[in-house]
Structure 1
Amino acid sequence: MKILVKILLALVLNMNLMADNVDDGLQAYKNKDYIKAEKLWEKACDDGNTKGCFHLGNLGVLYKNGEGVEQDYNKAKNLWEKACENQDYGGGGGCYNLGRMYDMGESVEQDFKKAVQYYKKACERENSTGCHKYEAMILILNKKLEQYADDIANKKYKQ
């Protein structure tokens, strides 16, 4: 029984530490200390706190836009990848931002296949914008496939 109490106490203390990392990260963010915020949120995310992963995704937007930090697309991409790995709270935003990056070719080679994959992940993580982009890209790809099939059929019968 004593061992069970000790385990439960350790779990509660660990959860409080993870929450502290998120809260301390928010305070650092408000103070425009983005490097500290990143370290705290990354620690929280690594420890399984999904809110830490969510905030990493938001921090990625700052790096992409160069707001308060030196613009760094690679850093933004890395933060979004970390956030996207999270299947719960906030992961959809990271996946959506990665999809958009590949969709638009922002600092990466344009890759519609990767864009569709990330938009799909965003949608699966309940990101409504990701769902809309995923559905739109699937419609466009289907129309292109139909056009390609029509082109082949027309060339085949003309010969």
Structure 2
Amino acid sequence: MDDDLQNLPALRAIDKDNLDNSPPSSAPEGIFHAAMENYTHMENTATPPKLRGPHAILDDQEPNYGVIQEPKLSNNSDPSQDAPKESPFASTQKFAETIMNAQLGYKEAQFALGDIYKNGEGVHQDDQAAMCWYQKATDQGLTASQYKIGLMCEKGQGVIQDFDIAMHWYLKAAKDGDLAAQVKVGNMYRGGHGVAKDFSAAMDWYLKAANQGHAFAQYYVGDMYHHGQGVPQDYTMAMECFHKADDQDDSDAQCSIGDIYQCGQGIPQNYSQAIKWYLKAAKQENARAQTNVGHWYHLGQGVPLNLSKAMA
């Protein structure tokens, strides 16, 4: 994202008549645009009803654009021992340029500003403002923002939760090649959210992303084989897919490998191997794996009986 911003032109006026102002192409988009009209004040930072996030910078106020703290690492190391990561928007001047370029109509800056609001990067977190800027980038055909809008519609962040509209945006992004959106379309078909439940369609979308190396998609393909959803049940294929996802440290896949060893599905039952895989996933804070590890320590299966570890 930082590189994209560096490639933006210097601040200058542009011909806004050349921007894509075509009407919404479908009913879901029409509903969405109508809803977002409630937030058109975001365009005019000079006279907003109240200061929201980075708009404060245009009123001679100084929000905190400091460092973003590193999250707690999965190996339990202390993040305070690592060098802090600077926000790409730590520079007040650069931050102001992002705002101005977004207002001038540059879609990369609009998307970046949406992320700033969504993540609360040095500003007050604001889902409605994030949605507004994502929509502006989407109106100019930015695929990544289509996915973000779908995600927020699915979760009800900044707008009323609506699976139909979420599916609409996921599909647009998925058809444009966004791997995360392809996985989401698969999830929507699998769960019957915003569309009729269809395991075969879900599998097709998972495979699109899995064949391009997406770890979550590889896990989901394995899970479909594991449960026989959309394809005949096949533990060998499930294990193969889980191992591909494990190569990218997917903890759900690691936990599922443990399940297969525990139950002896397609391979001899092996408690020692099961606990090995559960422990690997548990170290990444996978909740299901942590529960399984505690249960096994409580029973003394695959590991020596250890009630203190079972309760940990």
Tell me the TM-score normalised to structure 1 length: 0.64
Q: How does 1:1-159 map to 2 (within 5 A)?
A: 20-27=178-185, 30=189, 32=201, 34-35=203-204, 37-43=206-212, 45=213, 52-87=214-249, 91-139=250-298, 140=300, 141-143=303-305
Instruction: Spell out, residue by residue over 1:89-140, the C-alpha distance to the aligned partner (whole angstroms, 9 max, x if none).
Output: xx11101111011011111111111101100111012111101212332341
Instruction: Spell out, residue by residue over 1:23-74, the C-alpha distance to the aligned partner (whole angstroms, 9 max, x if none).
Output: 234436637152453242231x3xxxxxx21232122221111111121111
Take 2:211 and 2:282, find their aligned partners in 1: how far apart are those partners?
Answer: 23
Give the direction of change, closer, same or farther, for the CA distance of 1:135–1:121 in structure 2 (3 Å limit): same
Take 1:67 and 1:24, find their aligned partners in 2: how far apart are those partners?
Answer: 18
Query: Aligned-residue CA RMSD in angstroms?
Result: 3.2
Q: Secondary structure at the match of 1:94?
A: helix
Take 1:134 and 1:24, find their aligned partners in 2: how far apart are those partners?
Answer: 33
Between the two structures, name the one with larger relative contact order (CA 8 Å, sep ≥ 6).
Answer: 1
Q: Secondary structure at the match of 1:120?
A: helix
Identical aligned residues as a percent: 20
Q: Secondary structure at the match of 1:110?
A: coil
1:157 aligns with none
Extract unaligned runs of 5+ from structure 1.
Answer: 46-51, 145-159
Take 2:242 and 2:269, find their aligned partners in 1: how far apart are those partners?
Answer: 17
Take 1:86 and 1:103, find their aligned partners in 2: how far apart are those partners?
Answer: 22
Extract unaligned runs of 5+ from structure 2.
Answer: 8-107, 109-143, 145-176, 190-197, 307-312
1:80 touches 1:98 (CA, 8 Å); kept in 2?
A: yes
Greater fraction helix: 1
2:261 touches 2:271 (CA, 8 Å); kept in 1?
A: yes
1:103 touches 1:111 (CA, 8 Å); kept in 2?
A: yes
